[in-house]
Amino acid sequence: MSKLVHVAVGVVLRSDGKVLIARRPDHLHMGGRWEFPGGKVEAGETVQQALTRELHEEVAIEVKGLRPLTEIRHEYPEKTVLLDTWWVTEFEGEAHGREGQEIAWVDLSALGEYQFPDANQAIIEAIQADWPA
C-alpha cells in the first residue's frame, strides 16, 4: 500500500476572475508542472489552517475567506495524494513566489494551456463545474 499524503489546495480567485497557479520546482515530484498552491496538512492542523499557512509561506497572501470546492484522491505509483481543495474567495496581499517559484494569474479558459500533475485534472474539472457566476 502506498503512502497517503494529505494536501490542502487553494484555488485563489482574484476579483478579475483569474486564478493563481504556480510552477513546481524541478527537483520535486512532477517538477516543472503547474499547480494550484498549497501544501501538506501537518499533524494537529485543520485543512483550513494548513491552507492559510501554506499560502502565506508560498505566495505571501493572507487568506480571509474559504469555501470548499472538492476532495480528490489520486494514486501515483509511489504515493497516493488526497487533495482537499478550497476556493480562496477573499485574501489580502500581492501574490508572489516566496520560494522562488514562478506564478501566474490565468483565466479559466487558459488553464488547458498549462501542464498540471495528473491529479490536478480533476480539480480543473471541479473549477469548471463550480465556477462562480
Q: Which residue in this structure is represented by grid cell 476532495?
A: 71
In whole angstroms, give the CA distance from residue 56 to residue 24. Answer: 17
The answer on whether 53 is annotated among ligand-binding residues is no
In whole angstroms, give the CA distance from residue 44 to residue 80. Answer: 21
The answer on whether 6 is annotated among ligand-binding residues is no
The answer on whether 14 is annotated among ligand-binding residues is no
The answer on whether 54 is annotated among ligand-binding residues is no
In whole angstroms, give the CA distance from residue 124 to residue 101. Answer: 21
Cell numbers that stand for 94 in this block: 500581492
The answer on whether 29 is annotated among ligand-binding residues is yes
The answer on whether 125 is annotated among ligand-binding residues is no
CB 101 within 8 A of CB 23: yes
Which residues participate in the annotated binding site? 24, 29, 35-38, 58, 120
What residues are designated binding site for Mg(2+)?
38, 58
Residues making up the binding site for 8-oxo-dGTP: 24, 29, 35-38, 120
